[in-house]
Chain A
Amino acid sequence: MPSRDEIFEKVRSALVDALGVDEDEVTPSATMVGDLGAESIDFLDIVFRLEKAFGIKIPRGELFPEHILTSSEFVTNGKVNAAGLAALKAQMPFYDLTKFEQNPSVQNFPNMLTVEDMVRYVQSKVGA
């Protein structure tokens, strides 16, 4: 199993290629959307590159929970409700949702994803 540093280096390389950012911009705390400028299509590109770099399969909806964020069961008035937060935590234990819970507006979700979240996601995949 690769070390956390090895995973970070490969994630960083994938993000540099996918987003056209400099290596030193890709820090663990950098947010994908706000700091690195990722747009929705970039997430599909990132999925491709992570799959290749780590030899893993990333099913649709696993890295980005669109099925939860667009569900009327889990979203009330544009905010993820308690059931939705529970579903996010259960299905995406690799994400740190502490900040998101303070204002769980659906629009905020992509803004809170960080590079560290990506690293933890990959760790959960390669460690499985």
Chain B
Amino acid sequence: MRWFWIDRFDEFVRGRNAVAVKNVSLAEEHMHDHFPGAALMPNSLIVEGMAQTAGLLVADAIEYNRRVVLAKVAGADFHFDAVPGDTIRFQAEILDLKAGGSLTKVVSSVDGRVQGEAELFFAHLEPGEGVPKLFEPEELLKWLDQMHIYDVGRDEAGQPLQRPDW
């Protein structure tokens, strides 16, 4: 099982930017007792949603040829807490992309208000020593389909993203 921390993509422009949403629910176990008496989404888990949004954007940009690992949260600020019932919108942008790593900026917002901002740095690891097989193509495609990447995705020229032929 994969730990899904975004519900779907609403926008996805290859190599540039993406928007994903997550609905916060009281059904999530961490709401029950992480902060006893206060059901709110820990900001560390907001960072996870940011990382999944930006990480998939980066992984797509490098054609899933390397494992994209969150290596560093270069800076993060949060302005208020997300609570059950909120829809968090993650807006991710690639600031810089190289073979070995990428720098991204992600803004989380609720009802149009900026909830958090972070710069996330990803390392791109080559398969080989210490890096197991990158993915099972069928499993990854299923995941990407569930995220609606190929429904909303566009390439740099504005054309619909082609679903890879793995």
Binding site for B on A (CB under 8 A): 17-18, 20, 41-42, 44-45, 48, 51-52, 60
Interface: B75 (CB within 8 A): yes
Contact of B103 among A20, A42, A48 (CB under 8 A): A48
On whether the beta carbons of A17 and B75 are closer than 8 Å, the reply is yes
Interface of A: prevailing SS:
helix
A18: nearest chain-B partner, CB-CB: B74
- Asked if A44 meets B123 with Cβ closer than 8 Å, knowing A18-B74, A20-B75, the reply is yes
Contact of A17 among B71, B74, B98, B101 (CB under 8 A): B74
A42 vs B101: C-alpha distance in the bound complex, in angstroms? 11
On whether the beta carbons of A45 and B103 are closer than 8 Å, the reply is yes
Residues of A within 8 A of B103 (CB): 45, 48
On whether the beta carbons of B101 and A44 are closer than 8 Å, the reply is yes
A51 vs B72: C-alpha distance in the bound complex, in angstroms? 18
Interface: B100 (CB within 8 A): yes
Residues of B within 8 A of A17 (CB): 74-75, 119
Interface: B121 (CB within 8 A): yes
Binding site for A on B (CB under 8 A): 71-72, 74-75, 96, 98, 100-101, 103, 119, 121, 123
Contact of B96 among A18, A20, A41, A52 (CB under 8 A): A52
Residues of A within 8 A of B71 (CB): 41, 44
Contact of B121 among A45, A51, A52, A60 (CB under 8 A): A45
A42 vs B103: C-alpha distance in the bound complex, in angstroms? 12
A52: nearest chain-B partner, CB-CB: B96
Q: Once A and B bind, how many residue pairs between them come within 8 Å at the CB atom?
A: 29
Interface CB pairs A-B, < 8 A, 26: A17-B74, A17-B75, A17-B119, A18-B74, A20-B74, A20-B75, A41-B71, A41-B72, A41-B121, A41-B123, A42-B72, A44-B71, A44-B100, A44-B101, A44-B121, A44-B123, A45-B74, A45-B101, A45-B103, A45-B121, A48-B96, A48-B98, A48-B101, A48-B103, A48-B121, A51-B96
B103: nearest chain-A partner, CB-CB: A48
Residues of A within 8 A of B100 (CB): 44, 60
A52 vs B98: C-alpha distance in the bound complex, in angstroms? 13
A60 vs B98: C-alpha distance in the bound complex, in angstroms? 11
Residues of A within 8 A of B119 (CB): 17
B119: nearest chain-A partner, CB-CB: A17
A51 vs B123: C-alpha distance in the bound complex, in angstroms? 17
Interchain nearest-CB distance for A43 vs B (Å): 10
A42 vs B119: C-alpha distance in the bound complex, in angstroms? 13
A60 vs B100: C-alpha distance in the bound complex, in angstroms? 9
